[in-house]
Amino acid sequence: MPRLVECVPNVSEGRRGDVVDRMADAIRSSEGVRLLDQTSDVDHNRSVFTYAGEPEPVLAATHALVDVVYREVDMRTHKGEHPRLGAVDVVPFVPLAGVTMDECIALAHRFGSEVAQRHSVPVFYYAKAATRPERVRLPDIRKPEYEGLAGLLETTHVPDVGPRRLHDTAGAIVVGARPFLIAFNIELDTTELKLAQQIAKEIRESSGGLPAIQAKGFMLTDPPRAQVSMNVLDFTVTSLARVWREVESRASAAGINVLRGELIGLIPLDAALQVAADALKLEGFTRDRVIETRFLE
């Protein structure tokens, strides 16, 4: 069995297509790594890259990506809707096959130490790689955002590794190990940002909503509409279908229609089958009922 690790860096650049292409090329040119998906958002001014391979090639590809990003992105002029701490905002390592979570934790710690040494950037560890309980949740680390982080690096946000000062142009970086996460957004047929923010507050776990759900309300510009942006941390606990129903019911109660859903990056097959089973009310619908999986497995 191959030893496969997925890496899903989120980068603070989503508007300059030529720059994003150079970032993607850095990953593609890394031997032993396959770039699986690339998604950019103009309003968030953010790009998400999904790639996989054996641990060492993935580590090398991630360093290659960071090198390009740190040359191209200056956080002093960066603006976007999405919360962020740095040019390379977050780097999660995810075990796919033949690799344990403990190995991904070790990989995250190694990468964090190396990137701090190479670039003199403050590094925070999160999720399974967190070294303190208050840093398990990414939103807790990212709360001050880039603009407010400098004044906290000697107090509440002392880096896990690296200097206690922001990199002049790169800011800071968050590195972790985690299970598969689904980034799922729902757009509303309204420009009422407060409605999206209220729905997000009601459905996220931290406010007493759905378990394993993180959510935030955003305003998009082309065309103008409000968006509920979510991270589904464990689709076996809360399915995409349930998330959709909960958002749709709250929007409908306010007299607003749901326009569309959006996936950022990739999702597991089982999550898609879960949605199909829910929509069609299928009992016992598992992956062995799908013809392609019978051949592949």
Residue located via tokens 């150079």: 22
Closest to 237 measured CA to CA, from 264, 266, 259, 270:
270
Contacts of 282 (CB under 8 A, 6+ apart): 276
What's the chain's Rg over C-alpha atoms?
19
Q: Is the CB of residue 181 less than 8 Å from the CB of residue 44?
A: no
**Is 288 within a domain?**
no
CATH code at 65? 3.30.990.10
Residue located via tokens 């998604």: 39
Query: Which of the following is catalytic: 44, 82, 157, 167?
Result: 82
Instruction: Tell whether 188 and 155 lie within a shared domain.
Output: no
Structure tokens at 83: 């919360």
Query: Please, what sign has the CA dihedral across residues 266, 268, 269, 272?
Result: negative
Instruction: Tell whether 23 and 104 lie within a shared domain.
Output: yes
Ordered DSSP codes for 104-132: HHHHHHHHHHHHHHHH---EEEEETT-SS
CATH code at 218? 3.30.70.670
Domain's final residue, options 158, 177, 196: 177
Distance, CA of 62 to CA of 55 (rounded, Å): 11
Distance, CA of 272 to CA of 184 (rounded, Å): 12
Domain's final residue, options 126, 146, 177: 177
Instruction: Tell whether 173 and 206 lie within a shared domain.
Output: no
Q: Is the CB of residue 43 less than 8 Å from the CB of residue 81?
A: yes
Instruction: Tell whether 33 and 169 lie within a shared domain.
Output: yes
Instruction: Tell whether 46 and 110 lie within a shared domain.
Output: yes
Instruction: Tell whether 50 and 65 lie within a shared domain.
Output: yes
**Is 293 within a domain?**
no
Q: What is the pLDDT along the chain (297 residues), one digit of tens a residue?
A: 689 999 999 999 999 999 999 999 999 999 999 999 999 999 999 999 999 999 999 999 999 999 999 999 999 999 998 999 999 999 999 999 999 999 999 999 999 999 999 999 999 999 999 999 999 999 999 999 999 999 999 999 999 999 999 999 999 999 999 999 999 999 999 999 999 999 999 999 999 999 999 999 999 998 999 999 999 999 999 999 999 999 999 999 999 999 999 999 899 989 999 999 999 999 888 888 888 888 776
**109 given a catalytic annotation:** no
